[in-house]
Amino acid sequence: MFDKVLGLIQTYGIINVAVQAVEKLRTPKRCIRQDTVMVSERCASKNFEKMEEPDKQIAVIFVLHRFFPDGCGGTEQFTKNLASELKKRDHKVAVCAYSEYERHQYTDCTGGILWRMEEVDGIPVFYFRKERPKLNLIKDIEANGDDYTGFMEMLKERYKPDVFHFTHMSRVSGIAQYCRQNGIPYVVTITDFFALCHYSVYVRKDGCFCSGSCEGRMCAEKCVCITMHQTDRYERSKEILETAETVTAPSRFVMGIFKRELPELEVKVIPHSIKAVNAGRNPDGKRNSGRFIYVGSLTPEKGVHTLIQAFSQMPDFCALEIYGGGRQGYVKKLRKAAAGDRRVTFAGAVSHEMIERAYLDADCVVIPSEVPETYCMVLHEALASGRFVVASRIGAIPEAVAEGRSGLLFEPGNAGDLLEKMLASLNLKNTEHRDLDPLSEIRTYLGIYGRICQGESSRNAYTGGEEGTAV
């Protein structure tokens, strides 16, 4: 912990770190109250217009707030999957990811931007940061891209990109502003609520689901942040989104939130592709063995504490395996809560191949999120593996769950309701067949990139448009 604090001070300066620490102490845990849950309805899938893949090599640079191995969440996995599929098709790709390493860990400095280049599974990755960034860079939207001029010129010279694709805006909004100011085509995929909410979760500090930012005014009133001006942040975010060639989202839930906040913004729903996995054990529908698993980050908003509380009342023959890592303090609390229960195993962070095997060996995957999920990769991976799920009735989750057939939904944060649904799942299995096309996402994005390369607008490239929905 001391090393992390020292690193932040070396990167941001002691005053900025002190201000951020005070603000963090003033901000309670953002887990939504049960009486304020907002969800989207489950709906039938619609098809996108078939788009022709480009007949020439295209160059795409993906930009996001962090990348492997620094971060391994859904956004990072989505970005990596897309970049890998492009590379397989002989297109030119690179990833540009913010990092908070100390100065000596970078190999180059261009125009005030520290950077180093490494490869992750054959994908070139530029890890970068400003020599002395402001700490509110984590939450704010930058006003312009002037600070990135030299760095962007270097990237353009090396890769001659046809398009930049932003899969998260935190820490990298200055690059988006540079693209906007210089007429460089870019695409934005909304993977969480950061563009509207400086805490990314769209939950107010009182635990209520946000009813709208009111152009930043409600943020200033309900979720005060002393390091930025909220209405200015809203306007800067709006201009970045409205200038993008295409704005996409992985679910109807996310699309609906952004359409409510920015009615003129066109948002296209493109579900993330999930690799189909052959269904594993228990094919005959008999009573299962009671093996439950959790996969994901170990943070309060993911609700793992609620899962452990509920599981403590499950029959003795049941078992719970928890995959993932997280904040040290919270993990200690989880281990303490599960102390003495030999049925609970903390497996830690493991490879995705091991996660796939864990899905197939499990009877049920539990997703106890307490903040709105914008898509939830784990949910879709579990369903693609033929697993039954018990998940929070929140955010985009209900779009994918056929209640009673592929899973059961419970009230987020309600350990009693979760226990009831886990008990019920002991006699249920996933009976809903899902026809998955793991390449639909890459084909759709290739069509978008191709239209941009041809100088055409990609905004109206779908028959589904705003009515598109998650798989």
Higher confidence at residue 470 or residue 20? 20
What is the pLDDT, as a whole number, of residue 3?
60
Residue 348 is assigned to a structural domain of this protein: yes
Contact 235, 252 (CB under 8 A): no
**Could you tell me if 418 and 447 lie in one domain?**
no
Dump the DSSP string for 158-221.
Answer: HH--SEEEES--TTTHHHHHHHHHTT--EEEE--SSTTT-TTSS-B-TTSPBP---TTTHHHHH
Residue 184 is assigned to a structural domain of this protein: yes
- Give the H or E element holding residue 233: helix 230-243
**Could you tell me if 409 and 329 lie in one domain?**
yes
Predicted confidence (pLDDT) per residue in 107-136, tens digit: 999 999 999 999 999 999 999 999 988 778
Residue 431 is assigned to a structural domain of this protein: no
| Mean pLDDT of all residues in 431-448 | 85
**Could you tell me if 239 and 296 lie in one domain?**
no
**Could you tell me if 181 and 235 lie in one domain?**
yes
Q: Return d(Cα 303, Cα 316) in angstroms, integer.
A: 22
* Residue-averaged pLDDT of the chain: 86
**Could you tell me if 194 and 309 lie in one domain?**
no
Q: Return d(Cα 247, Cα 237) in angstroms, integer.
A: 13
Residue 283 is assigned to a structural domain of this protein: no
Longest dimension (CA), the chain: 64
Q: Return d(Cα 100, Cα 103) in angstroms, integer.
A: 9
Indicate whether 462 pLDDT > 50. no
Contact 336, 308 (CB under 8 A): no
The tokens for 243 are: 């200038």
Q: Return d(Cα 467, Cα 295) in angstroms, integer.
A: 30
The tokens for 74 are: 């859904």
CATH, residue 80: 3.40.50.2000
Residue 99 is assigned to a structural domain of this protein: yes
Q: Which domain holds residue 118?
A: 2-16+26-273+441-467
Q: Which residues contact 154 (CB under 8 A, 6 or more apart)?
A: 110
Residue 207 is assigned to a structural domain of this protein: yes
Going by pLDDT thresholds of 50, 70 and 90, the confidence category of residue 15 is low
What is the pLDDT, as a whole number, of residue 225?
81
**Could you tell me if 242 and 311 lie in one domain?**
no
The pTM of the full predicted model, rounded to 2 decimals, is: 0.85
Predicted confidence (pLDDT) per residue in 75-94, tens digit: 998 999 999 999 999 999 99
What is the pLDDT, as a whole number, of residue 141?
95
**Could you tell me if 421 and 347 lie in one domain?**
yes
Neighbours of 325 (CB within 10 A): 16
Q: Return d(Cα 307, Cα 326) in angstroms, integer.
A: 16
Residue 153 is assigned to a structural domain of this protein: yes
Of the candidates 139, 65, 127, the one whose C-alpha atom is nearest the C-alpha of residue 102 is 127
**Could you tell me if 304 and 243 lie in one domain?**
no
C-alpha to C-alpha distances, 63 to 161, 233, 241, nearest whole angstrom? 12, 20, 15
What is the pLDDT, as a whole number, of residue 222?
87
Q: Any idea what the Cα angle at residue 471 is, between residues 378 and 162, rounded to 5°?
A: 90
**Could you tell me if 379 and 352 lie in one domain?**
yes
Residue 333 is assigned to a structural domain of this protein: yes
**Could you tell me if 198 and 319 lie in one domain?**
no
Which value, to the nearest 10 degrees, does the dihedral of the CA atoms of residues 241, 246, 251, 254 take?
A: 10
Q: Is the dihedral of CA 27, 29, 33, 37 positive or negative?
A: positive
- What's the domain count of the chain? 2
Of the candidates 398, 307, 294, 408, the one whose C-alpha atom is nearest the C-alpha of residue 349 is 294
The residue assigned the tokens 């509380």 is: 309
Predicted confidence (pLDDT) per residue in 164-194, tens digit: 999 999 999 999 999 999 999 999 999 999 9
Predicted confidence (pLDDT) per residue in 381-428, tens digit: 999 999 999 999 999 999 999 999 999 999 999 999 999 999 999 999
